[in-house]
Structure 1
Amino acid sequence: MVVLSTKELSKKQITLLDKKKFALVHADFIKIKTLNFSLDQINENLIFTSKNAVKSILKNKDVNSVTSKKCFCVGEKTKRFLEKNSFNVIDFASDAYSLAEKIIEKYFNQKFTFFSGTIRKDILPKKLIEKGVFFNEIQVYKTVLQPKNIIIETNAILFFSPSAVESYLQKNKINNQTCFCIGKTTAKALEDISETSELNIVIASQPSIESVIEEVIKYNN
């Protein structure tokens, strides 16, 4: 079985597939670039929906001015990365919709700053706006698409973001492959963008690369 990952995997992640005798093709279909931004107008609560946003904040010369703020994030890996870098995580959720629901339910009267990328879904900000939660948004990184034409025949495709879905579909089509997605947002992007009428999509139980790989292994046992 040939597995295509739209993100380059680490040696440890590759080993998980090697043990099960999968053939792997992997390449980065997107690239992240840190933007110039100011941390002058930051509210007491910070929202991160990706690890990329955290990495961009850490590169800012004024990062020490925000480490004392309260953080809300998507994904356990992002949570651990924030805590590793001395941020205080108050709450987190598995996806943007669930995080927005938590903020609306438990932290409605507080003010937030949402750190985002140039290509982001409207799920979280739209939900907060609808419910009157005060927040400002700062774009801290740029997502650059890096589409590649895949000639080899594949059986499974791994997607880790809506941007990677868009990048892949610029030069390729989905035929009979099973698509493994890191979360609901990525799966929705696949359904919206793909021209294939019937897609076979499997969503990981947790928003992590390892969880996506686990689903591939489980699916083919």
Structure 2
Amino acid sequence: MKNKIRILSTKKLLLNQKQFLLNANFCLLEADFIKIDFHKNKIESKYDYLIFTSQNALNNILTNENWKKLKEKKCFCVGKKTKTILEQNGFDVVESFDYAEELASFLIDKYSSNTYTFFSGNLRQDTLPVALQQANIIFEEKQVYRTDLTPVKIESKVDGILFFSPSGVKSYLKENTITNQVCFCIGTTTAKELEKTTKNVVIANQPTVENTIIQCINYFNQKNTN
């Protein structure tokens, strides 16, 4: 490549995640466009099963002094990494899914007579709770973390942007515009938020940070070989 591809990540990446881009000879800019604040209230559940659709919700639970009592209950979750963290901490995961839509359909089809505690954040999508309500499934929602937008003005020109949540998209657009940059999304929910602004959207094959990065690398490598 004559000129290095310049990529902006809308959250700070782990060292091994950065290495994918650096090994591909890309330039990386990164900034945290959202901030997560954990609630410190006591965590309890009076229902049959636990639901986690966010690693942030789970990470907060694990900092709570009485979280081990929750291990008596089985879980449903969204995300392979969330499932791994749950199992590493002794939770019994009945099923995991890539998206909340898939989880909602499964619960409605297979577990509609059970009750649930859903751990969430303030900017969570409506997908799961609305589906459960419409199916008359009993659940309680406990908000255990808060997402705040922390916009950053990006002065440098970039070729591609990595997005990992709808809130990250909203935060980016508060101080920046999207013109001809290619936007790489961790999943369909993030893509839907972006598609209000641009059609230059590539969605990861799997909803992970690593796969989002790989899609970005593959896109530009293919573009430069054509």
State the TM-score bracket (shorter-chain normalisation): over 0.9
Counterpart of 1:3 in structure 2 is 7
Counterpart of 1:165 in structure 2 is 169
Q: Deviations over 1:128-162 (max 9, x none)?
A: 11111111000000111110000000111100011
Counterpart of 2:217 in structure 1 is 217
Say if 2:64 is the partner of 1:64.
no
Distance change >3 Å, CA 171–CA 184, structure 1 → 2: same
The counterpart of 2:108, out of the listed 88, 104, 121, is 104
Number of aligned positions between the proteins: 217
Q: TM-score, normalised by structure 1?
A: 0.95
How far apart are the structure 2 equivalents of 1:172 and 1:142? Answer: 23
How far apart are the structure 2 equivalents of 1:175 and 1:112? Answer: 43
Counterpart of 1:17 in structure 2 is 21
The counterpart of 2:123, out of the listed 104, 113, 119, is 119
TM-superposed CA distance for 1:36, in Å, is 2.7
Q: Contact 2:45–2:70 at 8 Å: present in 1 too? A: no
Bigger shift: residues 140-149 or 59-68:
59-68
Tell me, which stretches of 5 or more residues in structure 2 are unaligned? Answer: 222-226
Code of the aligned partner of 2:158: T
TM-superposed CA distance for 1:61, in Å, is 1.3
Residue 218 of structure 1 aligns to a residue in which SS?
helix
The counterpart of 2:144, out of the listed 133, 140, 144, is 140
Q: Deviations over 1:99-139 (max 9, x none)?
A: 11111111111100100001111011111111111110000
Code of the aligned partner of 1:215: Q
How far apart are the structure 1 equivalents of 2:44 and 2:92? Answer: 19
The counterpart of 2:40, out of the listed 28, 31, 36, is 36
How far apart are the structure 2 equivalents of 1:191 and 1:137? Answer: 29
Q: Contact 1:37–1:139 at 8 Å: present in 2 too? A: no
Counterpart of 2:207 in structure 1 is 207
Counterpart of 1:149 in structure 2 is 153
Q: TM-score, normalised by structure 2?
A: 0.93
Structure 1 outlier segments of 4+, above 6 Å: none
Say if 2:91 is the partner of 1:87.
yes
How far apart are the structure 1 equivalents of 2:35 and 2:103? Answer: 25
How far apart are the structure 1 equivalents of 2:71 and 2:31? Answer: 33
How far apart are the structure 2 equivalents of 1:215 and 1:87? Answer: 32
Say if 2:185 is the partner of 1:181.
yes
